[in-house]
Structure 1
Amino acid sequence: MKKRLILAILAAVAGAFFMLDLHHWLTLEGLKSGLGQFEQWRSQFPLLMAGGFFLLYVVVTALSLPGAAVMTVAAGALFGLLQGTLLVSFASTIGATLAFLVSRYLLRDAVQQRFGSRLAAINRGIERDGAFYLFTLRLVPAFPFFLINLLMGLTPIKAWTFYWVSQIGMLAGTLVYVNAGTQIAQLESLSGILSPDLLISFALLGLFPLLAKKVTGLIQRRRVYARWKKPARFDRNLIVIGAGAGGLVSSYIAAAVNAKVTLIEAHKMGGDCLNYGCVPSKALIKSARVAHQMKHAERYGLEATNPSFSFRTVMARIHEVIRQVEPHDSVERYTGLGVEILQGHASLIDPWTVEIRLHDGSRQRLTARSIILATGASPVVPPLPGLDETGYVTSDTLWDRFAELDTPPKRLIVLGGGPIGCELAQGLARLGSDVTQVQRGARLLPREDEEVAQLVQASMQADGVQVLTEHAALRTEWREGRKFLICEHQEQETALEFDELLIAIGRQPRLTDYGLETLGIETRRTVVTNEYLETLYPNIYAVGDVAGPYQFTHTAAHQAWYAAVNALFGQFKRFRADYRVIPWTTFTDPEVARVGLSEQEAIEQGIAYEVTRYDLDDLDRAIAESERTGFVKVLTPPGKDRILGVCIVGSHAGDLLAEFVLAMKHGLGLNKVLGTIHTYPTWAEANKYAAGEWKKAHAPEAAMKWLQRYHAWRRG
């Protein structure tokens, strides 16, 4: 309401300005015709005239009215070069700042909500280098200053920064116009003030901040590299440390553009995802799902049976799946692609030199223009007293440990309620373990909306998982030949017996023994990088789990493209890593897939939204497959079909999400999803029906009433 009132007042003032023909006085002709009267007033009331001129200039600039340029010339004619420059410099800056603040108050929230995702990169640039950009624009009078005022108000630049940069940046142009005003009799038009030579001079002056930034960057780089001696020539164009998803993609890109690249891996090709994470866990989940379907075969019109199996054989299948996928990430494949593979541990010696301790005991040093760190992450193991005595497994070590078992662990405790813990807890429970899941927080899957976490927890409990939330692990201990995890719940200790303890409380980046400390590369839980994925040294990059902010295989591969291209071609063009549309899936049953904002995040960030929901129990394919649990939930701005975020819970949720990821990436709204043909009967129809629910909720009621009347008229 306040904004509407202010907007109405501003519109009224601007309207009165034109209706009363006041704009005539702010033209060169009007100035010349009234100059004699103005000079008479100034001689009689010098202070009043100066103050009135100052206030009028502020008002004209604040309201973005035409005439500021003429008033600047008038300042020179009336007050001379020195006084005129002082008056205009401060009045123009104050007026510009008022226009900036009005734009920010009236328009910024609406513009950011409507175009926030598209403006994210601009906002980051303004936060980082806003003063440089504004100074450059202010130095070139060819840019309409009123437009700069209004547009800058839509950005995150601080008001004080806007003020002082504008004060300094507009000074050169102010001097030119005020000086021209001292010679007003010779002026035929305002365009005569800015000759082509003067405009070129201003344009060159406008480049000064950017050149200064470049020079500053060069100085900073010289300081960073000052204590190191750069090689005269390099053995490689690129060295990549770590052969997980980030390292494999980086080296593949380098080889594809004929760069000489070496990939160094200390352990297994394929990294965590192939050997310990994505691949083996999904193989386990599939076996567990089949066992679960056999136990509940009556859902499909079949006779339910309790599956009999060898757990050792199930684990052998998992290792066979790994072996079948291994060729995709193998030494042989990447060597064939043109990548040199060295198996050993790499450490940075200087910003261009890597020393490799090869598996055969020898050492080798290589130099490269650029280096990419893709060292991955390892499971977090809490410092619980007694843990070493009772033993434990992690998501990395369970595959070899459990492969030795003929039956699944009888009593299994899973410590941790995140995606890894939930996937493994449910899978092993379905294969026969008595699983207790211990979570320090108030609920499972804390990054998801509460209703999603509750649905997953209910499904896991139905599979026999005992979920204990708000239980803090204190220690493990032996009691009469039995192992116990001691937890604290509501200030009381609880002893939980176990045969195996699986720790799944998260993963931490591998940062030690790579020479980061020697080079002074900053780490804060992850390697600190800028938007180009550069570390302290612009030729050393980090990608994947070691760089954050996401610990997903697909984001590691995504970052690898930016790092590799910047490393190889950054001298021509650098690319900022784009995290606007990052999807992920938790492979519980039901699956949880998400991209963009959740309701929880929208509320925390104060973003206005509305929810469109389609429940899968209405989907024909879900009914046919007796998989009716779940929903598609889409967040959009109020009244708009632009997608802010999507959460899908249900069978095949991870696959269904891809359509929305594509839509968000390319700015397609729900109307486009609704207008796309989806095969019947498929799970993907759920996406179309969700879009249909949005359309139904936003049907134009007035138009529908007129259509009803029209059809009644047609019936006679």
Structure 2
Amino acid sequence: MKNMKKPLLLTFIVSAIVAWFAFDLGDYFTLEQAKVYQHSLQATITANPLLSSGLFFLIYVVMTALSFPGAAIMTLLGAALFGFWWSLLIVSFASSIGATLAFLASRFLLRDWVQRKFGLRLAAINRGIEKDGAFYLFTLRLIPVVPFFLVNLLMGLTPMRPRQFYWVSQLGMLPGTAVYLNAGTQLGEIQSLSGLISLPVLLSLVLLGIFPFIAKAVMAFVQQRRVYQGWQKPERFDQNMVVIGAGAGGLVSAYIAAAVKAKVTLIEKHQMGGDCLNTGCVPSKALIRAAHTLHTITRAPEFGIRSQPAQVDFPAVMQRIHRVIKGIEPHDSVERYSELGVNCIQGEARILSPWEVEVNGTRITTRNIVIATGARPVVPPIEGIEKVRYLTSDTLWSITEQPKKLLVLGGGPIGCELAQSFQRLGSQVTQVEMTDQLLVREDADVAKRVQDSLMKDGVDIKLQHKAVKFDAATSDSGEALQYVILEDNHGQQHQVEFDAVILALGRVANVTGFGLEELGITLNERKTIDVNEYLQTRYPNIFAVGDVAGPFQLTHAAAHQAWYAAVNSLFGQFKSFKVDYRVLPAVTYTAPEVARVGINEKEAQAQGIDAETTQYELNDLDRAIADGEDYGFIKVLTPKGKDTILGATIVGNQAGELLAEFTLAMKHGLGLNKILGTVHPYPTMSEANKYTAGVWKNANKPERVLALLERFHRWRRGGDNGHQQKSQSDNLKAHLQESKDQQ
């Protein structure tokens, strides 16, 4: 019997819907019908007020529970028939009870299936409902952006408790119900067309139209009062914006504010340019360039060139890296930003209130604050780690002696880039990754190409291993030794010696030490600042961008967020923009490079998206063959039978450059057909994008149309002459046989 509950309920609902339309029951719930039967209905109500009220209440509950159209008309009718106060009592409870029944039906019939199929995509919504579900529902009830019946059904798919749903609906719908009933009392008094233009009716309709806007303003005011309660807002401000942190996110935020003539202060406690310039993107790419150059020299015989064995001058390599940093440094300097109109201050900032920041003993009042404090490398609590020489992306660039034996912990982008670079420069690298593949966010075939390349270079890759203990010792000859105990997924342990270890295990946001705790600004499960889709914290005038906000730890993602934070903070009272992450490219600078935008196969499967995969191998591309770089592929995901690009992954030489065309196409809604129809110069690597589109086109060619074209061309040649050709062939064969017999 338990297994029959869902089919029985579904049968009842479907039967009710069929009956509603089959018998045109909706015709009975109109204002016109009410006017026809108004006097007889009112006479019945006067004779049996309680019975009539109970029957009206029951009908209203059923209509709301089954999400039938006409609830608004029923509300107006209730006021016309029962008067304002009595109908307010009936309708407010009937609508809430009916809404809760619809909520429960939706939950009983659909929630398990929806959460099972779309759970990953709904995870953020579920967390939001668990945290602020009551306030969110209350807002929807007050401001009917979404029809109430849809709110009932959709909320049933979330983790919201039924009791909470009921009382929030009861309170939230009450003001709107009162406005509708007030209009209904006036409409009930209309006796002729002239009554339509009476002042009370017009006032009721105007109130009904502007109520959502009034409710929205009231909710915003209440929320703001609740958030800022206990803080004293200054009467005037020194700055329009204060930015904390001069990395990519902070620099762009300050730049935009200065460009629109806002008064902005930028505070940095260490170095302008942040991690990207000083310890991240710039130095790592300079190191990769040196490693690739040496690798190219070792391949010289492949191109018919003889050369002497190259030698690595490691101190010179590091000196060039610092020269590169110095060369780019002016782009992010205090001098440049001061010229742009930014007030640059070096010192440690501390947020004292939602409108006050202190630096170097000076208190600055500001309308808005942008937090761009970045992140730092993770140093794991592995036993004995303090006994060994460990490096991170922050400290790596100060070394002048190349490690002979290098241990790299981590198989992400940073770990792979550094492991390959040091291996190519002459270190013997051991790379350790806890999972079963490098680059765990990428598809397995993508990670396999990178792994094969690293192994070909000589990197000793240990997957499904973890470091459990570090130690140091002295050999019999007096040489200092450092080693790590690795444990595989079977529990087996073995020892690996090293001269230095690079910790490439991710980065943790800088969220302490500058006042977030005192303001009660919360963190999310990733331990980054919890921001909404406008990049606002719990205080609408405090924003966060870059690594400290997540979800991406990419320089260009921080700059992308910075535009939204700057514009929303300075002009949000007029128009706010939701940050758009749909088209955000990323590149791992190994050899081959891995470049991606949109989703890959792994993410499509996790999200339940049935996508078509198109793949083009670069060993078919003329320019790649000529350059000796015919290794890798382009893989594009599209909906079945459509050329819309859901995501593109490129593995190969110059993958980051090739990705730009797909990024542009996705941003502006261009499909593979547009790429196929674009002229690409020959011979270039960019032709690979066009050939990938060609592979998709060939797999999706219109077979029926082509069959019709084949018949058309046959007709143009003179009709179907297949039989005639066969007869001529048979005659020729017979003639040849006859000549042979005569001979």
Question: 1:426 is matched with which residue?
Answer: 420
Give the conservation status (yes or no) of the 8 Å contact 1:100–1:149: no
Question: 2:501 is matched with which residue?
Answer: 501
* Letter paired with 2:287: L
Cα-to-partner distance string for 1:144-200 (whole Å, 9 max, x where unaligned): x9x66458857877696496578646633663576468668x366997899322111
Question: 2:367 is matched with which residue?
Answer: 369
* Letter paired with 1:698: N
Question: 1:514 is matched with which residue?
Answer: 514
Alignment map for 1:309-348 (pairs within 5 Å): 309-348=312-351
Give the conservation status (yes or no) of the 8 Å contact 1:297–1:304: yes
Of 199, 211, 214, 1:205 maps to: 211
Distance 1:518 1:705, change over 3 A: same
Distance 1:166 1:567, change over 3 A: closer
* Letter paired with 1:394: T
Question: 1:360 is matched with which residue?
Answer: none
Shift of 1:609: 2.4
Distance 1:657 1:68, change over 3 A: same
Work out the CA distance in 2 between the residues paired with 1:66 and 1:133. Answer: 22
Give the stretch that moved more between structures: 483-492 or 303-312.
303-312
Shift of 1:51: 8.6
The 3-state SS of whatever aligns with 1:582 is coil
Give the conservation status (yes or no) of the 8 Å contact 2:91–2:177: no
Give the conservation status (yes or no) of the 8 Å contact 1:581–1:595: yes
Of 652, 659, 682, 1:680 maps to: 682
* Letter paired with 1:315: M
Shift of 1:391: 1.4
* Letter paired with 1:285: I
Work out the CA distance in 2 between the residues paired with 1:78 and 1:567. Answer: 50
Shift of 1:589: 0.8
Give the conservation status (yes or no) of the 8 Å contact 1:84–1:178: no
Give the conservation status (yes or no) of the 8 Å contact 1:393–1:500: yes
Give the stretch that moved more between structures: 11-20 or 342-351.
11-20
Work out the CA distance in 1 between the residues paired with 2:105 and 2:672. Answer: 33
Work out the CA distance in 2 between the residues paired with 1:338 and 1:128. Answer: 44
Give the conservation status (yes or no) of the 8 Å contact 1:72–1:177: no
Distance 1:332 1:615, change over 3 A: same
Distance 1:290 1:207, change over 3 A: same
Structure 2 residue 251 is matched with structure 1 residue 248: yes
Distance 1:129 1:36, change over 3 A: closer
Alignment map for 1:26-45 (pairs within 5 Å): none
Give the conservation status (yes or no) of the 8 Å contact 1:99–1:150: no
- Give TM-score scaled by structure 1 length: 0.82
Work out the CA distance in 2 between the residues paired with 1:517 and 1:18. Answer: 58
Work out the CA distance in 2 between the residues paired with 1:149 and 1:172. Answer: 18
Work out the CA distance in 2 between the residues paired with 1:14 and 1:433. Answer: 74
Question: 1:591 is matched with which residue?
Answer: 593
Of 651, 667, 670, 1:668 maps to: 670
Work out the CA distance in 2 between the residues paired with 1:515 and 1:87. Answer: 51
Question: 2:5 is matched with which residue?
Answer: none
Give the conservation status (yes or no) of the 8 Å contact 1:630–1:649: yes
Question: 1:379 is matched with which residue?
Answer: 377
Work out the CA distance in 2 between the residues paired with 1:657 and 1:393. Answer: 32
Question: 2:730 is matched with which residue?
Answer: none
Work out the CA distance in 1 between the residues paired with 2:33 and 2:243. Answer: 70
* Letter paired with 2:513: D
Question: 2:726 is matched with which residue?
Answer: none
Give the conservation status (yes or no) of the 8 Å contact 2:243–2:250: yes
The 3-state SS of whatever aligns with 1:383 is coil
Of 374, 385, 388, 2:386 maps to: 388
Question: 1:458 is matched with which residue?
Answer: 452
Alignment map for 1:48-67 (pairs within 5 Å): none
Give the conservation status (yes or no) of the 8 Å contact 1:76–1:179: yes
Question: Which one has the largest radius of gyration?
Answer: 2
Alignment map for 1:56-205 (pairs within 5 Å): 130-132=136-138, 134-138=140-144, 149=149, 161=165, 164=170, 168=174, 171-172=177-178, 175-176=181-182, 179=185, 186=191, 195-205=201-211
Distance 1:601 1:126, change over 3 A: farther
Structure 2 residue 634 is matched with structure 1 residue 632: yes
Question: 2:723 is matched with which residue?
Answer: none
Shift of 1:92: 6.3
Give the stretch that moved more between structures: 154-163 or 364-373.
154-163
Give the stretch that moved more between structures: 386-395 or 304-313.
304-313
Distance 1:167 1:343, change over 3 A: closer
Question: 1:622 is matched with which residue?
Answer: 624
Shift of 1:216: 1.3
The 3-state SS of whatever aligns with 1:484 is strand
Shift of 1:422: 0.4
Work out the CA distance in 2 between the residues paired with 1:325 and 1:79. Answer: 77
Work out the CA distance in 1 between the residues paired with 2:592 and 2:621. Answer: 15
Give the conservation status (yes or no) of the 8 Å contact 1:132–1:209: no
Cα-to-partner distance string for 1:523-565 (whole Å, 9 max, x where unaligned): 4522333333334444433222222221111111122222223
Question: 1:563 is matched with which residue?
Answer: 565
Cα-to-partner distance string for 1:17-69 (whole Å, 9 max, x where unaligned): 77867666556665666779989999999999989877877787788877666
The 3-state SS of whatever aligns with 1:526 is coil
Structure 2 residue 411 is matched with structure 1 residue 417: yes
Distance 1:335 1:22, change over 3 A: closer
Give the stretch that moved more between structures: 56-65 or 385-394.
56-65
The 3-state SS of whatever aligns with 1:225 is coil
Give the conservation status (yes or no) of the 8 Å contact 1:241–1:247: yes
- Give TM-score scaled by structure 2 length: 0.79
Distance 1:640 1:15, change over 3 A: farther
Question: 1:3 is matched with which residue?
Answer: none
Give the conservation status (yes or no) of the 8 Å contact 1:81–1:182: no
Work out the CA distance in 2 between the residues paired with 1:661 and 1:191. Answer: 56
Distance 1:168 1:644, change over 3 A: farther
Shift of 1:274: 1.1
Work out the CA distance in 2 between the residues paired with 1:539 and 1:148. Answer: 31
What is the Cα-based RMSD across aligned positions, in Å? 4.4
Distance 1:588 1:189, change over 3 A: farther
Listed as ranges, the gaps of 5+ residues in structure 1 are 1-5, 358-362
Distance 1:630 1:86, change over 3 A: same
Of 434, 438, 446, 1:444 maps to: 438
Give the stretch that moved more between structures: 648-657 or 299-308.
299-308
Shift of 1:414: 0.9
Give the stretch that moved more between structures: 689-698 or 128-137.
128-137
* Letter paired with 1:488: E
Structure 2 residue 471 is matched with structure 1 residue 476: yes
* Letter paired with 2:289: K
Give the conservation status (yes or no) of the 8 Å contact 2:420–2:590: yes
Of 294, 297, 303, 1:291 maps to: 294
* Letter paired with 2:471: T
Distance 1:642 1:88, change over 3 A: farther
Give the conservation status (yes or no) of the 8 Å contact 1:632–1:648: yes
* Letter paired with 1:346: A
Distance 1:701 1:523, change over 3 A: same
